[in-house]
Structure formats: C-alpha cells, structure tokens
Structure 1
Amino acid sequence: MTSENIFLISFLLFIFFILALDLGLFGKKSSAVSMKQAGLMSFFVVALSVCFYFVLINYGHYLHGIDSLDKLQHVIARHHHPVHLIPGDLEHSIQLYNQNLGLEYLTGYVVEYALSVDNIFVIVLIFTGFGVAPRNYHRVLFWGILGAIVMRFVFIFVGAALIEKFEWIMYVFGAFLVFTGVKMFLDKDKEEKIDPQSHPVVKFANKHFKVHNHFVGNKFFVTVDGIRKMTPLFLVLLIIEATDLIFAVDSIPAIFSVTKDPYIVFFSNIFAIIGLRSMFFLLAGIINKFRFLKIGLAALLTFIGLKMLFHVYLDQFGFTTTDSLLIIIGILGTSIFFSLIFPENKKDRKLKFDPENEDNTRH
C-alpha cells in the first residue's frame, strides 16, 4: 500500500469518526439545533481544520512518501508547487515544501468555506420552499454531507487526472470561473425562488418512482398499503445533493487554481463540507445581513479564474500561495466589512428565516 493510500484512508477514517460523533450528539434529538450547539460545532470543526494545517506543515512530506531530494523534486514538478529546493539539504527543502503544502491547504479551505456560504442561500430556499420542519434539517444535511464526500472524491481525482494529462483544461476552468463570477455579480439582486412542483428532481422522481405526498416525521421512505414510497424529505435530500453537484463545478476548479495536488484539494474540500452543516445553523438566520457577500464571492471567483488563465505569467512574476491567500481574505473581509457598515434596509429584506422557528414551514 502506498503512502498516499495510507494517508487518505487515515484521513477518511478520521472524517467518518467526526461525522459519527456529530450523529451521536445531534442525530437522536427531535428538536432543532440551537445557535449555541451550532456555534460549538462550528468552532470544533474549524479548530480541527486548523490543526490539520499544522499536521501538514510538520508531516506533509509523508503524504507522498518523500525520503530523498529526487523524490521531492519529482513531487514538486508533478504538482507544480512553487517551491525552490536547497541543493544538498533535504531537511530544509522538506521544511519549505511542507510550509507551502500547508498554505495551499489553508488557502483552498478558505476558498471552499467561503463558497459554501452561497450553498447556504440555496439550502435555505429549498427548506422553506418544501416546508421542511426545522427539527429535520440536521438529518437531511448529515446524509447530504456523506453523499457530497463521495461525489467530491470522484470529481477531484478525475479532475486531477485530466489536468495532468491535458494541461489546457486549466484555461477552460479559468474561463468558466470568470464567466461564473461575472454572472453572479450581474444576478446579485435577482430574487431566487424554489418551486417544489416544477423542480427537475421532483419531476424525475414522480415519473420514475413512487413518491408519498406528505412528510412522515424524519423518514426518507415509508410503506403505504404494501408499497414502499420515498417521502418529500428524501426528495429534499436529492435536491440538496444535486445542488452540491452544481456548486462543485465551481468550487473544485477554484481550488485547483491554488494547488494541483488532488489530495490537498480533497482535504480542504472535505473539511469545508463537514463544517457546512454547523455553519448553516449558525448563519441561516442572519445570512441576508451580509448584503455584499454575493459581490465578494463574485469577485473571488473572477480573481481565481483570472489566476488560472494567467498562471504562467504569475509564476514568472513570483506570485506565491501566500499572495493568493492574502487577496482572497482581503476580498471576503472587505465584502463582510461593508455589509456590516452599510446594512440592508429591513423593509427591503425579502427572505426572513429562523432555523429554530417551526413557523418557517408550510403545512
């Protein structure tokens, strides 16, 4: 078994342990997750993500089994890491490599975590549009996260293989991200709606499967007159999975602009995803207060797309991973700052949502 496989399996076992802990703490409760619980879980997940950064800067070279300068040179060339080796000095060269690896992971994590906020906008619309009871949010999001981990794994490693074989795909990704960023900016004031009856997933399910007309507690399936049917709650889960698939088309290429190492892309993606559930409960009720966040995310995607399009020139200019991280934090920080300084007029706010309030739902 290769060092990459050992590292990856250990990481996945750790993530599933965290998810099992999450399910044990909150999964058996019938009440909605409180802001306090969400805050504690968010702090815990972010703390773990930061701890993983320190693991990488100290032991990152074990990921690819680096034990010589030749192996280190090969890994750096293969994944295009902006690291300059110190001739004849393996120890210090590994330190430089690990520090860059940690920065790439941290930058990718910040990008994915920021883009996950846009996911929350859509999830709020899905839950309110389908009338999901707040006490069932956790169950849907938990299983949604498991599905997202599987999809991201496939997307990332297939994408890495394509990039390694066809380097021009980076320019396609870059152009797509610029297009997405510009479109997000132009649509920033557009009112988003979810129509349960006309949603493609609902139409497909009604056509090909037996679907029950009503929610049955927190059940995904129910047997009626000897016929097993999926409930609307399972439809909501399918829609959230489909939504994550769409968002992955943006977020995964965005992280490939930071690092070409698929393992680092995967690690940063998964840590951000497992933090999405707790972040949803923490931000869902106040997310509309960040009125300029959409503009910030649009600028973020555009910047990342341009970075992918002009990466050759930026490398020659000496543009580093640290520079990317500072610009990304600057973009997000500026959008949040102006959102707090210039809040939206309350009477103009279109979506009011409280994840702990049962009145959000339709019955």
Structure 2
Amino acid sequence: MNVPVWVWVATLVALVAVLAVDLLIIGRRPHEPSMKEAGTWVGFYVGLAVLFGIGVWATAGGQYAGEFYTGWLTEYSLSVDNLFVFVIIMARFAVPRHLQQKVLLIGIVLALLMRGAFIVAGAALIAQFSWVFYIFGAFLVYTAITLVKGGENDEEDFKENLLIRWAKRALPISSTFGDGRFSVVTETGKRLFTPMLIVTIAIGTTDLIFALDSIPAIFGITKEPYLVFTANVFALMGLRQLFFLLGGLLQRLVYLNIGLAVVLAFIGVKLFLEALHTNTLPFLNDGHGFHWAPEIPIWLSLLVILGTLGIATVASLIKSSRDRKRELINN
C-alpha cells in the first residue's frame, strides 16, 4: 500500500482539528455530557470510521479495507477495556464528574502519542526483522492467559505504581481539584499541585501498559503503518463520549475480558503461524519457511473477532440480567 506524504499530512491535520474541537468544548464548558450528546458524538466517530474504510476500499481495494475494519474493531474493543480501568482511576481519586471529560481527553491524547511512538518502532522492527512476529505472537498469547486468570477482578487492573507513589509523597498536593488545573497558588503565595496531576500520571502510565498490548495486536492484522495508525486513531476518538454513554453498562460486560482474551490469543496464534510461514531464523528449518503453516485470511479474522465479541457481549448481558433478577428475588 503506497500512501503519499500528502495523505499522511492531511490525516494528521484532520486529527489535530478534531482534538482542537474537543479541547474547545471542554475548555469553554466543562460538563458531564447527556446521553443524547454522548450518543451523537459516538455515532459521529463510528460513522467517520466506516466512511474512512469505504474510502480505503475505493482507493486501495477490499483487502486493505478489510484490514482497516478488522484492526479498528480490535483496537476499539481494547479501548473499551481501557474504560474499565479509567472508571477505577476516577473512583480511586474521586475525580468530580464535571472534570472527568478533561481527564479522559488527556488520557486519549497521551494514548495517541504513546501508540504513535510504538507504531513507528514496531514498523521499523518488522521491516528489519520478520522474526519479531514470534515475540509479538507469544506476548499476545501470554496477555490472553493473564486476562483469563484475572477474571472479573477489575480492581486488580490498576495498582498505584512507583511513579504515582513518588509523586504523592514528594510533591506538595492540594486537597481539592479546584477548577481542574494542574497547580494552584494559595493565599500565602505557595504553589501546590492539584490531584489532577496525580490522575494524569495514573492515566498516562495505564495508557503505556495498554499500548504494549494493542500495538502487537494490530500488527497481527495489518503490516501497513498507515492502517495501523488510523485504526488506532478512530478507536480512540470518541472514547471520551463512550465513557459517559455506556455508564453502568460497563459493569455489566462481565465476560468482555474473556472475549478479548480469545481475540488476543487468536491474533497471537495467527502471528506465530505467519512467522513460521515466512521464517528466516537460521536455526529453524535452515532459515526456510514452514509451508505447512497456514496463512489466515483477513475475512476469517474479521468473522472470528466479530463473533467472539458478539458472543461475549450477549452472554454478559444475559448473566447480568439473571443476577439482577436473583438479587430482586432474594431481597
């Protein structure tokens, strides 16, 4: 896929424009969006992704469009999983509702920057060393096993790391968020950092961990840096509004971790098979590929991912409904 420089530039300009609109909305009127407002924005971003995929289809063909849609769906699902941890962070630090939009936007910007850096590094590694797919595949399978073992204990997904503990201990922190700035000046002229800084550190370090999972996953679907980048962008844009739209529904998606584990394990196996098929390691089959290793087509990947996430969502809602009915009967 040959992407001209001007297309990259136009994409980046459009991204900056959308982020600027988000910043203006939050900067002028920090608020908790209504369901209608959140739903409208989520629909807008999903519609943009669908239109973008159609554009890829028209200009580059169905293969690349399929790779974009599959990658976007995978990254979107992993981004929804991020929201579980964001909910925990918001509750842990008691972030006021009207400031949560700002925290989420900061998290999205940090995620974009980190994923952008990982995409550049990942693309460079793949271009030079095809055997890196062995590592990516093994890491995704390991991540899948970790997700299954973690079960429904979302609280375990977030622990205060060394950087957060150091900041809370070493920096002068005010007791309130104020108007959402990172620092305030007291009446005595002393400058204090607000809890917003600690929350930003928590969100940023969490984004770093999630980027380690998501980038190998998307490279397991497409090797095109442009599609990897745009799939991540469209998966993250609108995440802020999705947080408010889903609301309590997040807590009802009890089997999402299992669904994501199956998806990551599938992509990990796909990567490993592809690495075997194109093997260049001299100590494996004298540096030749294993022709018996099948190459999984993109349409099958899309079906597996859609089916797995659909089953996990339906099963989650059924279980949550039964649990609520059981609670009502017991009470």
- Same fold by TM-score, threshold 0.5 exceeded? yes
> By how many angstroms is 1:29 displaced?
2.1
Q: Secondary structure at the match of 2:155?
A: coil
Give per-residue Cα distances to partners, 1:233-285, cap 9 Å, x unaligned. 12111211111110010011000000111111011001101121111111132
Give per-residue Cα distances to partners, 1:26-62, cap 9 Å, x unaligned. 44223312221111110000001111111211234xx
8 Å CA contact 2:85, 2:158 repeated in 1: no
In structure 2, relative to structure 1, the CA distance for the partners of 1:13 and 1:126 (3 Å cut) is: same
8 Å CA contact 2:88, 2:158 repeated in 1: no
Which of 83, 86, 89 matches 1:123? 86
Q: Which residue of 1 aligns with 2:323?
A: 345
Q: Which deviates further from its counterpart, 248-257 or 233-242?
A: 233-242
Q: How does 1:19-38 map to 2 (within 5 A)?
A: 19-38=19-38
Which of 332, 353, 356 matches 2:309? 332
Q: Which residue of 1 aligns with 2:63?
A: 100
Code of the residue aligned with 1:336 in structure 2: it is T
* Correspondence 1:212 to 2:174: yes
Alignment size in residue pairs: 310
* Correspondence 1:166 to 2:129: yes
- The separation in 2 between residues aligned to 1:49 and 1:111, in whole angstroms, is 13
Q: Give the structure-1-normalised TM-score.
A: 0.79
- The separation in 2 between residues aligned to 1:211 and 1:50, in whole angstroms, is 44
Q: Secondary structure at the match of 1:222?
A: strand
- The separation in 1 between residues aligned to 2:158 and 2:133, in whole angstroms, is 35
Code of the residue aligned with 2:167 in structure 1: it is A
Code of the residue aligned with 1:53 in structure 2: it is G
* Correspondence 1:292 to 2:291: no
- The separation in 1 between residues aligned to 2:204 and 2:112, in whole angstroms, is 10
Code of the residue aligned with 1:251 in structure 2: it is S
In structure 2, relative to structure 1, the CA distance for the partners of 1:314 and 1:99 (3 Å cut) is: farther
Structure 1 outlier segments of 4+, above 4 Å: 193-196, 313-316
- The separation in 2 between residues aligned to 1:34 and 1:27, in whole angstroms, is 17
Which of 109, 114, 128 matches 2:72? 109
Structure 2 residues not aligned, in runs of 5+: 278-289
> By how many angstroms is 1:330 displaced?
0.6
> By how many angstroms is 1:318 displaced?
5.2
Q: Which residue of 1 aligns with 2:280?
A: none
Q: Which residue of 1 aligns with 2:237?
A: 274
Q: How does 1:220-231 map to 2 (within 5 A)?
A: 220-224=182-186, 225-231=188-194
- The separation in 2 between residues aligned to 1:111 and 1:18, in whole angstroms, is 22
- The separation in 2 between residues aligned to 1:298 and 1:194, in whole angstroms, is 14
Q: How does 1:1-363 map to 2 (within 5 A)?
A: 4-60=4-60, 98-190=61-153, 192=155, 198-207=160-169, 209-224=171-186, 225-311=188-274, 312=277, 317=294, 319-343=296-320, 345-346=323-324
Q: Which deviates further from its counterpart, 219-228 or 48-57?
A: 219-228
Code of the residue aligned with 1:292 in structure 2: it is Y
In structure 2, relative to structure 1, the CA distance for the partners of 1:21 and 1:316 (3 Å cut) is: same
- The separation in 1 between residues aligned to 2:229 and 2:302, in whole angstroms, is 18
8 Å CA contact 2:256, 2:309 repeated in 1: yes
8 Å CA contact 1:201, 1:235 repeated in 2: no
Code of the residue aligned with 1:297 in structure 2: it is L
Code of the residue aligned with 1:212 in structure 2: it is S
Give per-residue Cα distances to partners, 1:194-233, cap 9 Å, x unaligned. 888x543322223554433332122222123444332101
Q: Secondary structure at the match of 1:172?
A: helix
Structure 1 residues not aligned, in runs of 5+: 61-97, 350-363
Q: Give the structure-2-normalised TM-score.
A: 0.86
In structure 2, relative to structure 1, the CA distance for the partners of 1:191 and 1:242 (3 Å cut) is: closer
Code of the residue aligned with 2:168 in structure 1: it is N
- The separation in 2 between residues aligned to 1:320 and 1:255, in whole angstroms, is 15
8 Å CA contact 1:129, 1:195 repeated in 2: no
- The separation in 2 between residues aligned to 1:210 and 1:347, in whole angstroms, is 48
- The separation in 1 between residues aligned to 2:312 and 2:15, in whole angstroms, is 31
Code of the residue aligned with 1:43 in structure 2: it is G
